[in-house]
Amino acid sequence: MKTGKQITRRAFLQTAALTVGGMAVPALQAEAKDKRGSQGGGPKRGKGFTMWQIPSHKNTIGNSYVFQTRGGKVIVMDGGFPEEAFTLRGFIGALGNEVEAWFISHPHDDHMGALSEILKDKQDLKIKHIYHSRITEQVIDAEPTEAQKCRDFYKQLDEGEIPVTDIQEAGGVFDYDDMHLRILSVATGLTKNPYNNNSMIMRVWDKRKSVVFLGDAGIECGDLALKGPYADLLSCDYLQMAHHGQNGCSEQFYRSIRFRACLWPTPMWVWNNDTGKGYNTAHLKTIETREWMDSLGIKEHHVSVRDGLWKLT
């Protein structure tokens, strides 16, 4: 395994600035549904839920996924930076302007920022429920540059009229027509790489395909998930690469699970580790992660900067 300089979140965001100028079901029922969902075997032909990987229109980092069930319900995961709110609002509007459930993996503003911006003025957008895993005051303060934005977001959730569920225990399953979502990990209070390592890991599946979302999980978060009771459910068809594919989960984590395709919510400068001086000349670890995927024989990659608005059915 290669080693390299660890990049802090602050340095990561500084690089961006320079470059860019619902109810739980019983456990046995959930396990049965997980067995019906594929785990690395490839999706069968036919319709299930539709998912879109939303690219940034600002060439910046961000994590944004929108789902629509066969019955028309819309579910959103994260949403990206505040400046992505306008585009995301329009996309949701084209699907009916109603969100059944909005899941936030963790309170970094490249994940919750768009929702925070929308909550300031929802206009005619209806959001029926918001789900997240609240981090502790100690963890909030562990990243001083992010603390106020996090507290402002939590204040919006606490004082708003939209129902909010704080998920503090993994294992819960939420059913939306043919789409099922299971929480594989929640905020744990880790203090190293604090916000990222409190990412809520989620699995989404129907009878034909499965997707696991790692959020910005770091090494410690990924390793805890591997040791946890839902480790087997980390295997899937499509895997969202942790922390935009750079400085996230370890090589051993990726080698410990089964998946056949990678989802990269990743802008060009991160994908090529190029902040202006050429390919793989910056301090990001994306190329190393790409090499891991090559060694695993993964051939299918959906990169938001390269694929644009990518659709999974």
Look up the CATH superfamily of 9-312. Answer: Ribonuclease Z/Hydroxyacylglutathione hydrolase-like (3.60.15.10)
For 21-45, the pLDDT digits (tens) are 333 333 334 444 444 344 444 444 4
How far is 128 from 134, CA to CA, in rounded Å?
A: 19
Residue 164, strand partner residues: 130
For 190-249, the pLDDT digits (tens) are 888 999 999 999 999 999 999 999 999 999 999 999 999 999 999 999 999 999 999 999
- Domain layout of the chain by residue ranges: 9-312
Q: Which of 178, 242, 167 has the alpha carbon at shortest distance from 204?
A: 178
The DSSP code for 273 is: T
How is the chain split among helix, strand and coil, in percent rounded to 5?
A: 35, 20, 45
Q: What percent of the chain has pLDDT over 90?
A: 82
Q: What percent of the chain has pLDDT over 70?
A: 85
Query: Whose structure tokens read 């690089």?
Result: 15
Do 134 and 166 form a contact (C-beta atoms < 8 A)? yes
How far is 261 from 233, CA to CA, in rounded Å?
A: 16
Do 230 and 205 form a contact (C-beta atoms < 8 A)? no
How far is 166 from 41, CA to CA, in rounded Å?
A: 33
Q: What is the pLDDT along the chain (313 residues), one digit of tens a residue?
A: 333 344 455 454 544 443 433 333 333 344 444 443 444 444 444 579 999 999 998 888 889 999 999 999 999 999 999 999 999 999 999 999 999 999 999 999 999 999 999 999 999 999 999 999 999 999 999 999 999 999 999 999 999 999 999 999 999 999 999 999 999 999 999 888 999 999 999 999 999 999 999 999 999 999 999 999 999 999 999 999 999 999 999 999 999 999 999 999 999 999 999 999 999 999 999 999 999 999 999 999 999 999 999 999 9
98-99 and 126-127: which strand pairing? parallel
